[in-house]
Amino acid sequence: MPPQVPPVKLKQIPDDFLVEEVLRPMDAGSGTYRLYRLTKTGVDTLEAARALSRVWKVPRGDISFAGLKDRHARTVQAVAIRKGPDQTHNEPRFQIVPTGRLDRALRPGDLLENRFKLRVRDLSKEEGERVAARVRDVAEHGFANYYDDQRFGSARGTSGLLVGEALVTGDVEGALRLALASPSAADRGRVKVVRQLLSRRWGQWGELARALPPSPEKKVIAALAAGGSFEEAYGRIDRDLRSLHLSALQAAIFNDGLRNTIGSGPAHTGMVGAYVFYDGAPGSWGEERVPLAEARAEPHAILDAALAARGIDRDMLVDHALRRGLRGLVTHPTNLVVQRPQRDDRNKGRTMVGLSFGLGSGSYATMLIKRITYDLKPTERSRRRRT
């Protein structure tokens, strides 16, 4: 099921959604890794990393970060590059500035939290009061710690089917087809042309190898045209994208377990299953930390039930590089402050609510927004603008 149209205006302008990383204290070091501050808008972390790899002629594998940031916000984060140059680089969508040195690459565990400043716009006065009250409830009781739709970009155009799930269940051709030949209404430019062509001519490897424009997909299809296996062809997909396929599967399995634990409540449609919320305090399960799905994960009733529902057992996960870890079912924002509803300077006659808070690594500010706006409807004016 496709995601719902957002019921309120979020990210109407870049400064409506500000994110800044806070790293754990680390020794500054004098080693071979140079540390940078990356400020970006309209580009995600991996896109920026690939651009830097091309511009500075450094291997993509030598570029590391503590967390991924999507394109739909103004974000500030740290980047470390092995033998990176002592210079700045500016592009229309991002700027990078050197700030010091490290003795090693950045890792996810280096991220202490992300700090957010958000504005929720285009509310009626009553809706503004309701949103502010819900923010205060979240400050006391936390909110359901789902992975949000940003984690499921690889499921765009697949009707919720996951590349990683096809991969671990042994359907490598299915995984490849989902990854390359699943057109989406959001596709633009070269991506749209390539995906539609692959969808129409899937299996005609020689014809496709000749017809496709120069692209990463052409390299994958060339392996099949030369008689290679689906496994070999899938291995030609960009390493970052293959990692995202597996992390999306882990996220979906965790979300399944959380949704089933909550059972019923207010909900918001998601790309891979609904996000069901709780009102007031969670039950005793609110303190649970559930292992992420991977071959060595400790037995846990919530994880085991979610795996069984998808027909996946741990043996299927042995040969796949899945991240190990625990994730809480509930997350609690730090330093959560909500402003009184005020006049919306971008939407005449409407109200906006501003809030600021911190979230630990892996928790989604957009999920907090869904929690506090799940039952709000688009205004007639907003609906007309989208038609």
Within a domain: residue 83? yes
Cross-strand bridge partners of residue 334: 358
Distance CA 254, CA 261 (A): 11
DSSP 212: S
Does residue 270 contact residue 149 with C-beta atoms inside 8 Å? yes
Which range of residues forms the domain containing residue 186?
170-238
Q: At what angle do helices 189-201 and 216-225 cross, to 10 degrees?
A: 20
- 257 within a domain of the structure (yes/no): no
Contact partners, residue 314, CB within 8 Å, separation at least 6 = 294, 295, 296, 297, 307
Is there a contact between 335 and 116 (Cβ–Cβ < 8 Å)? Answer: no
Output the domain CATH number for residue 3: 3.30.1360
pLDDT of residue 216: 92
User: Rounded to whole angstroms, how far apart are CA atoms 379 and 196?
Assistant: 35
Cα separation, 228 vs 249, whole angstroms: 26
pLDDT truncated to tens, each residue of the chain (387 aa)?
334 444 578 788 888 999 999 999 987 777 899 999 999 999 999 999 999 999 999 999 999 999 989 888 899 999 999 999 999 999 999 999 999 999 999 998 999 999 999 999 999 999 999 999 999 999 999 999 999 999 998 898 999 999 999 999 999 999 999 999 999 998 889 899 999 999 999 999 999 999 999 999 999 999 999 999 999 999 999 999 999 999 999 999 999 999 999 999 999 999 999 999 998 999 999 999 999 999 999 999 999 999 999 999 999 999 999 999 999 999 999 999 999 999 999 999 999 999 999 999 899 999 999 999 988 865 444 433 433
Asked if residue 49 belongs to a domain, the reply is yes
Q: Which two tokens stand for residue 222?
A: 């060339």
Same domain, 1 and 37: no
The encoded tokens of residue 146 equal 């789902």
- H or E segment at 179? helix 172-180
Does residue 161 belong to any structural domain of this protein? no
Residue ending a domain, choose from 238, 256, 275? 238
Q: Which two tokens stand for residue 301?
A: 């009733």
pTM of the model: 0.87
DSSP annotation string for 256-278: HHHHHHH-SS-EE--TTS-EE--
Whether residues 10 and 61 share a domain: the answer is no
Same domain membership, residue 132 and residue 9: yes
Looking at the fold, whether 77 and 190 belong to one and the same domain comes out as: no
Q: Are residues 10 and 32 in the same domain?
A: no
Enter the tokens of residue 295. 């071959």
Which residue's structure tokens are 């009184």? 340
Same-domain pairing of 351 and 216: no
CA distance linking residue 351 with residue 120, whole number of Å:
9
Q: Which single residue is written with the structure tokens 């809030």?
A: 355
Q: Which residues fall within 8 angstroms of residue 150, CB to CB, at 6 or more apart? A: 70, 364, 366
Domain presence at residue 86? yes
CATH assignment of the domain containing 76? 3.30.70.3160
